[in-house]
A and B are shown apart, each in its own frame.
Chain A
Amino acid sequence: MLTILLDGIAYGMLLFVLACGLSVTLGLMNFVNLAHGAFAMAGGYVTAILMNRWGVPFLATLPAAFVAPALVGIALERTLYRRLYGASPLDQVLFTIGLVFMAMPVANYFLGDQPQQVHLPPFLQGRLEWAGVGIGIYRLFIILVCGAIAAALQTFLVGTRFGAQLRAAVDDARVASGLGIDVDRLFAITFAIGCGLAGLGGALAADVVGGIDPTFPVKFMVSFLIVVTVGGSRGIIGALLGALLLGILDVAGKYYVPSIGAFIIYAVMVAALLARPQGLFAGRGGR
């Protein structure tokens, strides 16, 4: 029972790191970015390739898995995404689906359609037993790392000058730029961080989901979108709670009622959207 709960929490934490970048672009900047999963895939591939071809240790690859997608993200943001900030949701959907359609064959072309495995180092394998509750060490590792990231993001958003500027720019971009805040630069950096976190999430998730393959962006796009829509558009806490809820429900649902499988989370999402169109954990006036 507790084991399932902990597994669910680990999965939820993972979803959170994967999706929190999206909750910023989608929730704060109001940009429908269906290509978010492509950045996660990039991060997973970076880790897999560094480990398998160059023998870099797992932990050392994680920074690269953050930096590479972030750089790709900032390049794309500067050249393409920023043109569509004011566009209609339909245009944004079409554009980002186009990106996904391009990312998958590119990954397939260079890396093949077989899943790239990430082999965990020995000290992250195995299980811990404590008072009858068992948990995989890697799951625990994920909970700790992702929890730390969530806490860091929250303090970053609430406690720093950059965070305050970002919140101001999101609330009203025109007034914020009138006050001398460089909104363009702010959004670019935020977008890059979001992409980087997605990449990190992809690297961490590679083992849990059984390797990274070219269909990753589509397979997990739905989970990301669910996290963001259920969690609501405001802030890190909403996305975290949404991700945890989803992770626990998904793991518990697959364990207790395997016959209906993923049906539960979709039903929860639709129900949540109908009951609270602004998101379950949205505080004051979401969008």
Chain B
Amino acid sequence: MNGGSASVQAHLMRRARWGNAEIAFWILLVLLIFALPSRALLINEILIAGLFAMSLDLILGYAGILSLGHAAFFGTGAYGAAILASRGVSDPLVGLVLASLMAGLLGLATAPLVLRGADLTRLMVTLGICLMLGELANRNAWVTGGADGLNLEFTPILHLFPIGFTGQRNAALYSLTVLFAAFALARRIVQSPFGLSLRALRENRLRAGALGISAPRRLIAIYAIAATFAGAAGALVAQTTQVVSLDVFDFHRSADVLLMLIIGGTGFLYGGIIGAALFIAIKDSLSTVTPEYWEFWIGLLLIALVLAGRERIGAGIARLLSRRGHRGAT
């Protein structure tokens, strides 16, 4: 018994070690921001979308919950940060933390609703909650600015680094720091025994239950955590673009983030970031060629991806990455 738990622990420790490929990945991101100052705006967008997609990966890839309304938390974070700023809390770090917590609380409150029913019901409930929030933001113009949105002013981070149009590189570095912190936390979570138990639930809830793993509490916990990260992504968007409007609750947001995650592959955290980079790069290059019709090609890619077997491609990428990581570690 004792030896068994020790070997489990050793296994978890081994998996938790950062591989060289992973370290190189993050260093590359930092270098990229300094190497391409003119594209800082785009890189910032990718980093934030990466954080958003990673939060969806926590519930879709690790817990197996299908959501079409993940933008609910993104939007709550964005409006949370914006409303705090318009009410005089102009320090971005305080705003970020508070806005993320708001989104997390919303996740905690809605999780029991989402976890009822089968996949289809879940799709509808998540979508419905997101639409309701969007409509609420639309109708309560006295606090959200309604269809006009809000323009924001922030003090520089730590009173040293201004973000926004004059400090786009600072903004990208700020997003990268938040993304890295959230990623490290998420990585710790999915490699903890709690993370393993989530995977067990995803694979076979009946058997996991027989092993004494209770589903509802764990799923609610991971849903709230993912909501917090999505809220952080929303807050980052509001703070670095200094504007927030109703489109943060748009169905497009939820659909796009799902696409990013699918393109990058589910269930290994980096998928969200890689997918976000690919998606935004594709979108950016397509929309310079065909500004109105880029969606067509994204749709085509998506259909091809599904028909070719999404899991096969994703598993291939994951295998490639983990093999490299292991080789680096030994």
Contact = CB atoms under 8 A, between A and B. Distances in A.
A and B assemble together: yes
Interface of A: 26, 30, 32, 80, 83-84, 87-91, 93-95, 97-106, 108-109, 113, 218, 221-222, 225-226, 229, 259-263, 266-267, 269-270, 273-274, 277, 287
Given A105-B299, A226-B128, 8 more contacts: A32-B123, A94-B258, A97-B299, A97-B302, A102-B299, A222-B131, A229-B121, A229-B124
Interface in B210-262: 251-252, 255, 258-259, 262
B293 A109 contact: yes
Contacts of A97: 255, 258-259, 299, 302
Contacts of A30: 120
Contact of B296 (A101, A259, A267): A101
Interface in B271-330: 292-296, 298-303, 305-307, 310
Closest 8 CB pairs of A and B: A101-B299, A98-B302, A102-B299, A105-B296, A105-B293, A277-B117, A98-B303, A98-B299
Contact of B306 (A95, A104, A262): A95
B139 interface: yes
Interface in B121-167: 121, 123-125, 127-129, 131-132, 135-136, 138-139
A93 B68 contact: yes
A273 B116 CA distance: 9
Contacts of A259: 139
B139 A269 contact: no
Nearest to B138: A261
A266 B121 contact: no
A82 to B, nearest CB: 12
B203 interface: no
A87 B119 CA distance: 13
A103 B66 CA distance: 24
Max chain A Cβ within 10 angstroms of own Cβ: one of B123, B136, B259, B295: B295
B118 interface: yes
Nearest to A88: B119
Contacts of B298: 98, 101
A233 to B, nearest CB: 9
Nearest to B66: A90
Max chain B Cβ within 10 angstroms of own Cβ: one of A98, A267, A269: A98
Contacts of A267: 132
B306 A222 contact: no
Interface of B: 60, 66, 68, 113, 116-121, 123-125, 127-129, 131-132, 135-136, 138-139, 251-252, 255, 258-259, 262, 292-296, 298-303, 305-307, 310
A229 B303 CA distance: 25
B20 to A, nearest CB: 33
A262 B131 CA distance: 9
Nearest to B132: A266
A267 B135 CA distance: 11
B66 A89 contact: yes
Contacts of B300: 98, 102
Contacts of B125: 270, 273-274
Q: Is the interface of A mostly helix, strand, loop or mixed?
A: helix
Contacts, number: 125
A132 B290 CA distance: 55
Nearest to B130: A266
A266 B128 contact: yes
A209 to B, nearest CB: 17
Contacts of B120: 26, 30, 32, 89, 229, 287
A287 to B, nearest CB: 7
A260 B139 contact: yes
Given A89-B120, A93-B66, A105-B293, A99 B299 contact: yes
B127 A80 contact: no
A30 B125 CA distance: 17
A276 to B, nearest CB: 10
A94 B310 CA distance: 10
Given A91-B310, A95-B306, A101-B295, A270 B68 contact: no
Contacts of B293: 105, 108-109
24 contacts: A30-B120, A80-B303, A89-B66, A89-B120, A94-B258, A94-B262, A99-B303, A102-B300, A102-B303, A105-B292, A105-B293, A108-B292, A113-B292, A218-B251, A222-B131, A229-B121, A261-B138, A263-B136, A266-B131, A269-B124, A270-B129, A274-B116, A274-B125, A277-B118
A72 to B, nearest CB: 15
Contacts of A273: 116-117, 121, 124-125, 128
B128 to A, nearest CB: 4
A95 B310 CA distance: 11
Contacts of B123: 32, 89, 93
B295 A104 contact: yes
Contacts of A91: 306, 310
B209 to A, nearest CB: 20
A30 B120 CA distance: 9
A260 B140 CA distance: 9
Contacts of B255: 97
A218 B305 CA distance: 22
Given A95-B303, A106-B296, A260 B124 contact: no
Contacts of B119: 88-90
A225 B251 contact: no
B79 to A, nearest CB: 16
Max chain A Cβ within 10 angstroms of own Cβ: one of B113, B131, B293, B294: B131
B132 A102 contact: no
Contacts of A226: 124, 128
A31 to B, nearest CB: 10
Nearest to A91: B306
